[in-house]
Amino acid sequence: LFVCPKCRHSGSWDVLSRVISPKKSSKIDLEALKQSLPIEDDFTDKWKSLIKTCVNVSELPEDHYNDLLKRFALPNVAQSQMSQLNCYYQEATSSFFFPLTSTDNRVVGYRCLSINQILQEYTIPSLGANGLLIYKEKKSKGDGTAVLVPTIEDLLALIAEKSANNVICLAYGLQNLPLQILPILEPYKKLILWFDNDTSSWDSARHYAKKLNEKRCFFVRPTNHQPRPKVAAVRGYNLKNILQEAQPIWHKSITTFNSLREDIMSDLQNIDKVQGVKWTRFPSLNKILK
């Protein structure tokens, strides 16, 4: 997969490589490629129009901000921490809006926390928001580690406890993981997936890890004593200790039929490299062993 931050086109890398190869680099080919590929919608104007009716969290009076945290039953996140997320509050609808940004820091959608009778969390647009909500702790050393969570509540719980230097909220939670967001996660050497402790969350963690490169993915083991961050914080658990106990998803002793099939195919295609050291005294034996 490739994503162009300039023209916002994305598609299969094989298609692009055929066009940009030395033998095929004409403008006609490039224009034909652009017309055949999907283009990401520009959400900038919609976001600007929305925030005109809102107030940035950093501009809210402190007492009003604290009242909102209690009303929404949110973790005790400092106003300065919430401001780092470039969050906005809309009084008319009692909603918080958190922008989702892409690789070039462009707004491609937003996650909304609204409360009427119950707290609701959803993403706009419902499909195609190829961005993430990323929090980076100020004055922290870059350790190359990020914690991935499915909801805003979980994100805020980790921020409030200062449990990790980098916390990332996924655009669509456990519903899907767009391939277009993978370049945003490339700088991180270690990704900790902290979802809920049910079967669907565990299945999603394994599925997402395959997209993100299993060898750099860890997960918080789904047990009753290690629920999702918001619940763990409410119960008074030490979130930092739970993160330190995260286990690698990939294990060299655990494999699948597909992995075995690919390994065998690789050996067959590279038979000269895997057949071992040849006999020098018995050349005929080499042919038999081969």
Angle between helix axes 27-36 and 13-20 (nearest 10 degrees) is 170
Contact status, residue 148 vs residue 130, Cβ threshold 8 Å: no
- Whether the model clears a pTM of 0.85, i.e. scores above it, the answer is no
Work out the number of other CB atoms within 10 angstroms of the CB of residue 146: 21
Q: What DSSP element (H or E) covers 280?
A: none
Domains recognised in the chain with CATH numbers: 43-274 (3.40.1360.10)
Q: Decide if 257 contacts 229 (C-beta within 8 A).
A: no
Along the chain (290 residues), what's the average pLDDT of each consecutive run of 10 residues? Answer: 62 62 56 64 88 96 96 94 95 95 89 90 90 90 90 96 94 89 92 87 87 91 86 93 89 60 64 64 73
Residue that has been written with the tokens 């993160």 in this structure: 243
In the prediction, which pLDDT does 81 show?
A: 94
Q: What six digits make up the tokens of 24?
A: 């095929």
Pairing of strands 133-136, 145-149: unpaired
Q: Measure Cα distances from 162 to 59, 66, 75 in Å.
A: 23, 19, 12
The DSSP bridge partners found for residue 223 are none
Place of tokens 């609204």: 114
C-alpha closest to that of 122 among 147, 93, 148, 143: 93
| Residue 75, both tokens | 């973790």
> Model confidence over 225-283: pLDDT tens digits?
889 999 999 999 999 999 999 989 876 555 566 656 765 765 665 566 556 677 677 77
Strand-pair partners of 55 = 89
Q: What is the structure's pLDDT at 197?
A: 78
CB neighbourhood size of 72 (10 A): 18
Instruction: Show Cβ contacts of residue 43 under 8 Å, excluding neighbours closer than 6 positions.
Output: 106, 107, 108, 109, 125, 129
| Beta-bridge partners for 248 | 218
pLDDT tens-place string over residues 37-58: 666 677 889 999 999 999 999 9
The amino acid occupying position 288 is I
Residue 230 to residue 75: CA distance in whole angstroms: 8
Q: For residues 213 and 200, what is the distance between their CA atoms, to the nearest angstrom?
A: 20
